[in-house]
Structure 1
Amino acid sequence: MQPAVELVDVSRLYGNFAALRRVTCSFAVGGMHTLLGENGAGKSTLLRMAAGLVTPTAGVVRVLGGTPAQNRHRIAYMSHAAMLYDELTPMENLRYFARLHCSADACSLCHASPEMALRAVGLDPHLKRSVSQLSQGMRQRASLAAAILADPELLLLDEPFSNMDVNGARELVVLLQDFLTWPLTGNAQGARTVIVTTHQHELVRDVADTTMYLRHGSIVTEDHSPVTGAIEASSAKVEASAA
């Protein structure tokens, strides 16, 4: 089976700064995989590349057997900042996003999914408060609902626990574990996959199938789970002179 995400000799430069340095790695289909590292390590760049939001300066990125652009409809990305309209309620936000995803011949199906997505993350679809009036935990839940609205096979989460209290973050981890158990719809094969970047390893240490560590844009260590062994990482090491 093709990996969920595969990078081959990938670099990404921003001027003279190398966000990623010749990274070769892959994440197997299925389960939860974590990317750890300090600010500037390259975690967000790698995730945004898998989402098709950033193109590599060099190297190849494959997602679900094709390019990120080819499989964009099978991918959802959640930024660490809530990409929601503050003046709208969670339901109003999701109804708007559903119309963006909706094709002319399938609107009735799309219009049913906002309520299901909100209930799946533990939010009341009839909540009348705007996003600006929600707690950080509720905002993150609403963001996750927006991400799962399109029923993705691959869910990419960039620092989803930022600014959340411990209980809220733990509840979000449970929601992600539940998402992984959802059966795929249509003709999709395999299993759902979640890739998470975080500074808070303790939140996902016991539930992550694999963990990858980045420093200065390079893979420095890898942790293979005895359950899946899902990561195949390069032996690239950070040079002592790396900025």
Structure 2
Amino acid sequence: MTDTDATHPSSLSPVISVNNLVKYFGRFVALRGVSAVFDAGRMYALIGDNGAGKTTFLRALAGLTKPTRGSISVLGNLDIHSVCRYFGYMAHPSLLYDEMSGVENLRYFSRLYGIRNDQRCAEVIRLVGLDPQLARPVGQYSQGMRQRMSLARVVIHDPKVLLLDEPFSNVDVSSAREIVELLAQMRDSGKTIVVVTHQAQLLEGAADEFVWMREGQIVSRTSDSQSSRREPEER
């Protein structure tokens, strides 16, 4: 398969396909045979208790954690690193440089993707609801502003897939809802979005599917967060 083929999969093909993913850390089993598909133009909320395997799964999707066994296909390609430029990964906590302004941060990260258009930086800052003329260091931003700037960093290169780890952490409800609206707009533009969160209620009405994890497994996938939290049926 050529790189062109990999980046233009059939409209019927999932953007991400995971098959029997297992991950050990020493003797601890973090992922236990996870299989799942994620489609274009959909937003998924990945929820579960601490230690359920959510962040490990997200990092595996991003190519940052190598699975012990199993496979992940992204855009039709089993070599994740060959298509990683089509990802936008938001870690928890943020990867921003506190001593730089928002524009300086985006200018730095955009250069990593070969983008040398400062207009693109200003455009993305406005997209997330911030002022590109704001000169003060990111270290002086409120938590809501920091999360918006983190999202700007994630989308600076216009990725096809967004993988977000706790984007609403320590953010006030009003700012969190505005971030959800931004994510919904990006989803509607055709992006695949996977959000790890402990605040699933914020994504009610926005997420297309709630994926509940427990003890390294996906135990249910539903259209609302409340039914996701019910005990799954015995298999």
**Shorter-normalised TM range:** 0.7 to 0.9
Render the CA deviation track for 1:189-218: whole Å, top value 9, x for unaligned. xx2111101011110022111111001101
TM-score (normalised: structure 2):
0.87
User: Does the C-alpha gap of structure 1 residues 69 and 172 become closer, same or farther in structure 2, counting only changes over 3 Å?
Assistant: same
2:119 counterpart of 1:112: yes
Partner AA of 1:91 in structure 2: V
Higher helix share: 2
Task: Determine the structure 1 residue equivalent to 2:3.
Answer: none
2: CA distance between counterparts of 1:4 and 1:140? Answer: 26
2: CA distance between counterparts of 1:85 and 1:2? Answer: 38
2: CA distance between counterparts of 1:236 and 1:41? Answer: 18
User: Does the C-alpha gap of structure 1 residues 58 and 236 become closer, same or farther in structure 2, counting only changes over 3 Å?
Assistant: farther
Task: Determine the structure 1 residue equivalent to 2:4.
Answer: none
**Count of residues in correspondence between the two structures:** 216
Q: Unaligned 5+ residue runs, structure 1?
A: 183-190, 226-234, 239-243
Q: CA RMSD in A?
A: 1.8
> Once superposed, which parts of structure 1, at least 4 consecutive aligned residues long, lie more than 4 Å away?
235-238
Partner AA of 2:42 in structure 1: G
- Whether the 8 Å CA contact 2:16–2:38 is kept in 1: the answer is yes
Q: Unaligned 5+ residue runs, structure 2?
A: 1-11, 225-231
Which of the residues 161, 170, 177 maps onto 1:170? 177
2: CA distance between counterparts of 1:138 and 1:57? Answer: 37
1: CA distance between counterparts of 2:210 and 2:74? Answer: 18
User: Does the C-alpha gap of structure 1 residues 169 and 224 become closer, same or farther in structure 2, counting only changes over 3 Å?
Assistant: closer
2:31 counterpart of 1:17: no
Please report how far the alpha carbon of residue 113 of structure 1 lies from its aligned counterpart in structure 2 after TM superposition: 1.3
Which of the residues 27, 30, 49 maps onto 2:60? 49
Percent identity reads 44
User: Tell me, what secondary structure is at the counterpart of 1:115?
Assistant: helix
Partner AA of 1:140 in structure 2: Q
User: Tell me, what secondary structure is at the counterpart of 1:155?
Assistant: strand
Which of the residues 77, 84, 88 maps onto 2:100? 88
1: CA distance between counterparts of 2:80 and 2:122? Answer: 28
Task: Determine the structure 2 residue equivalent to 1:229.
Answer: none
